Structure 1
Amino acid sequence: MSGDGAAEEPLYVRDPGAWREQLAEGNRIQARKRVAAKVLLQDEQGRMLLVDPVYKPFWDLPGGMAEANESPHNAARREVNDEVGLIVEIGELLSVEWVAPHGPWDDLIMFVFDGGAVTPRVARELRPRDPELQAVGWYTLEQAARPLREDVWERTRHALCALEDKASVYRYRQ
């Protein structure tokens, strides 16, 4: 407040250049988050698509890491196309999960989107298109518990519940 009782204008109103500099400094020093986007794709029988990456000991949902300045939505679409050659309409956000740092990795924000259902023909013909994958398969919820790592199984189960409940969920894992 100034001496006459009037509120002082914020610096950025008076000096847009100073405001931009302040934002740039914040952008330079603030934490960067890794972002990954997965897609829950189902066939007409309600089974979900899982992929078997060559660089992991467990299966996973299709999807992967977002590139610099890429939205999670676009990363999900790009990754599914890269991995199995399918151009899919990315639907509603099912879950967001903060994953704590682990092993050599910093923390991560994981998004899971609804990819809808594919026709029986598309389901039969899906094959790995990315050398990072060695196989794809269709699994019921019960069957998926075996090839998925425990945390991925939990993420998948919560995404399926969110799809059924028509309500996104937020989770965090310490």
Structure 2
Amino acid sequence: MIQELDHDEAALVIRADPQSLYELIADVTRMPEFSPYIRKVTWIRGATGPTVGARFKAVNAMGRGPAWFNKPVVTVVDPGREFAFERTEPFAGTIEWRYRFEPVNGGTRMIESYRVVKPVSRVGWFIIGTLYGIKDDRAVLRKGMEETLQRIQATAEKWSGITTAGAAGSP
């Protein structure tokens, strides 16, 4: 099944400062704590932290299929404001993942988004649907973004002693 997958975003207001949230995301080795689909992340090719051009290896899993890995490259490093990377996979195209941090009254509006740079091929859609059993990739990615933001919120607000029960939600 061929889908229209082009871009999407999710946002959540988190009672934490933009720099603290940026540091959580830019340390990509912590992504397994936040994303329901990432199992392990390590910096590779001599990279030890977020710089433009740095690469990391991510082990992902979703649906009923086996885990797989990719090697994203960091594309934007703007502490406290924005962090982004692109991942390219055979048959699954290229997707840019971006995190933006906007100061708001009482915290930060954190926005996670993706943008398809190179579309998923027909073979890729066949693999996603048949091997992994995913029929609506857009819905799976949206759910993953929302869950990631909620997990980041819980971690960030725990640091500051704030519970998420009284936190502002997404706009």
> Taking structure 1 as the reference length, what is the TM-score of the superposition?
0.28
Q: Which has the higher strand share?
A: 2
TM normalised by structure 2 equals 0.28
Structure showing greater radius of gyration is 1
The one of the two structures with greater contact order (alpha-carbon pairs below 8 A, sep at least 6) is 2
